[in-house]
């Protein structure tokens, strides 16, 4: 069955703000659906409009929020996708800007689960056609986990567009808070240098994690008297960003800013990001952070237009390579 020329956009209630912005860029309304909760904790989810023979996109980040934990959202999303398939959708595309369990992508101890792959199998069980995400923790692991087509987007250019007018003649270094993120920081550095039309420095910080404890403090790279942009895919507890910012300041950085696509904040993130070593925390809007104490420090960069462009390209059958990172 080939899809007709109608796009349908859906999300769970918990993701409707972000999805509504995407739908507005596309000039279409967000699809209506019903979510019912039963006393025993089970759910019923169904579309309230026809999707037969339509190209359906479900836009939903899978983080804990709004009283729902990650697992709640994952199960609800799977039920919505299955009900859309049963209702006759021609094609079902998942846009999960933040994809849960992506950090557990390999075995680091005996008998470790590779949870990224298990989540991919759950999506494949409801027969999705495409999985789209933004700045996943490990792109190669994400692509290898899924057997359906995948699209990996980056918020890199959106961040650069946001920062470029104010960087002026500053000496800039793009830093990774650990060696695992060096490739991500390198791509950002190359794009920023091209846009600035001048060299941009690079740096990273040593980090070791074992049993939940983080150690390491060595700094590699030129940061003295420079504005340092610490880049990561997400901020959770905030300890990694705090440690890196304070180490860079101790080594002579003039100004330190944190940049991350996903605000996967925990209860003590605010205390860590309140460190005076960090002047600003610049985040993508894939997840709306709820830290009123940091409202003067946290800034959100809107990526919904990029999501809408990707949906249009996929619907029209165009190559999305130039939209990917």
Catalytic amino acids?
207
Q: Which residues contact 309 (CB under 8 A, 6 or more apart)?
A: 25, 323
Which has the closest alpha carbon to 95: 43, 49, 149, 48?
149
Structure tokens at 322: 């130039």
Euclidean distance between CA atoms 270 and 278, whole angstroms: 12
Euclidean distance between CA atoms 3 and 89, whole angstroms: 8
Q: Residue 36, SS3?
A: strand
8 Å CB contact between 30 and 23: yes
Q: Residue 235, SS3?
A: strand
Structure tokens at 207: 């980090």
Which has the closest alpha carbon to 282: 266, 304, 263?
263
8 Å CB contact between 175 and 195: no
Element (H, E) at 310: helix 304-316
Q: How far apart are the first and last CA of the chain?
A: 31
8 Å CB contact between 131 and 146: yes
**Alpha carbon of 181 to those of 186, 212, 315: distances in Å?**
9, 19, 32
Element (H, E) at 71: helix 70-86
Euclidean distance between CA atoms 30 and 229, whole angstroms: 36
């Amino acid at each position: 069955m080939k899809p007709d020329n109608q796009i349908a956009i859906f999300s769970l209630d918990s993701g409707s703000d972000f999805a509504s912005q995407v739908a507005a860029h596309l000039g279409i309304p967000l699809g209506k659906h019903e979510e019912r909760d039963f006393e025993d904790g089970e759910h019923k989810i169904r579309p309230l409009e026809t999707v037969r023979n339509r190209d359906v996109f479900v836009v939903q980040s899978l983080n804990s929020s709004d009283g729902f934990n990650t697992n709640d959202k994952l199960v609800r999303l799977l039920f919505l996708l299955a009900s859309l398939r049963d209702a006759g959708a021609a094609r079902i595309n998942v846009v999960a800007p933040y994809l849960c369990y992506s950090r557990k992508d390999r075995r680091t101890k005996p008998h470790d689960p590779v949870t990224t792959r298990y989540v991919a199998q759950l999506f494949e069980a409801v027969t999705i056609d495409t999985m789209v995400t933004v700045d996943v923790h490990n792109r190669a692991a994400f692509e290898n986990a899924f057997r359906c087509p995948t699209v990996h987007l980056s918020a890199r250019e959106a961040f650069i567009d946001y920062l470029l007018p104010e960087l002026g003649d500053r000496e800039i270094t793009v830093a990774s808070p650990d060696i695992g993120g060096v490739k991500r920081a390198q791509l950002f550095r190359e794009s920023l240098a091209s846009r600035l039309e001048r060299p941009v420095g690079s740096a990273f910080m040593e980090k070791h994690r074992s049993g939940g404890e983080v150690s390491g403090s060595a700094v590699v790279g030129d940061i003295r008297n420079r504005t340092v942009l610490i880049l990561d895919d997400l901020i959770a507890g905030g300890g990694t960003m705090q440690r890196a910012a304070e180490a860079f300041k101790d080594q002579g950085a003039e100004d330190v800013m944190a940049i991350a696509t996903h605000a996967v904040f925990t209860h003590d993130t605010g205390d860590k990001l309140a460190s005076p070593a960090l002047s600003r925390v610049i985040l993508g809007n894939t997840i709306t952070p709820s830290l009123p104490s940091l409202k003067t420090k946290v800034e959100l960069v809107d990526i919904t237009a990029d999501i809408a462009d990707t949906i249009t390209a996929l619907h029209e059958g165009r190559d999305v390579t130039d939209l990917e990172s």
